[in-house]
Amino acid sequence: MIETIIDLCTEYAGWLQLIAISSLIMLAISLSLLPYLVARLPVDHFCQQSRSQHPITSQQVLLRILRNLLGLILLFAGLLMLLLPGQGLLTLVLSLLLLDYPQKKKIERSLLQQKAIFNGLNWLRKKAKVAAFKRP
């Protein structure tokens, strides 16, 4: 069994190196993007009941499409990293922040009920010198 694994590793050494490098890149992206995204949210982001009903521009539509595309890529990468080397859970959390999906606000609020998560988000905001979130 171990010999088979060693043979597979030597046969696919190039792919394993590519996966390891990709994993490190995704880790860097996740660690740098998460604080930036958390700091850009408004203080009352989690208190708002729904999105505003203002008409959206074509630029906003394009940005939303790009954000969701990036979220899908990160979701796929995070799922892969659960099985392969990398920060799978962190990448999945980042992808869920970026994606638009039904019941997103409800899920966010239930996560924020956990004191550690709420305090962690406010710690990131404090480091960015931004006011803390209001509790939903």
- Convert the pLDDT of each residue in 30-71 to its tens digit: 778 778 888 888 888 777 765 566 677 889 899 999 999 988
Q: Which two tokens stand for residue 30?
A: 């996740």
Report the range of poorest mean pLDDT among 4-8, 27-31, 85-89. Answer: 85-89
Q: What are the residue ranges spanned by the domains of the chain?
A: 2-48+56-127
> Are 74 and 88 spatial neighbours (Cβ–Cβ below 8 Å)?
no
Query: Taking the model in full, what pTM does it have?
Result: 0.59
Q: Which of 65, 66, 94 is nearest to 78 (CA)?
A: 94
Q: What is residue 121's predicted lDDT score, i.e. its pLDDT?
A: 84
Question: What's phi and psi for 41, nearest 5 deg?
Answer: -70, 145
CA angle centred on 76, ends 73 and 80, rounded to 5°: 135
Q: Which residues of 71-104 are buried (b: 16+ CB within 10 A; e: fewer)?
A: beebbebbebbeeeebbbebbbbbbbbbbeeeee
Mean pLDDT of 19-24: 79
Q: What is residue 52's predicted lDDT score, i.e. its pLDDT?
A: 60
**Length of the chain (residues):** 136
Q: What is residue 49's predicted lDDT score, i.e. its pLDDT?
A: 65
- Convert the pLDDT of each residue in 75-134 to its tens digit: 888 888 787 766 777 778 778 878 888 888 888 788 788 888 888 888 888 988 999 888
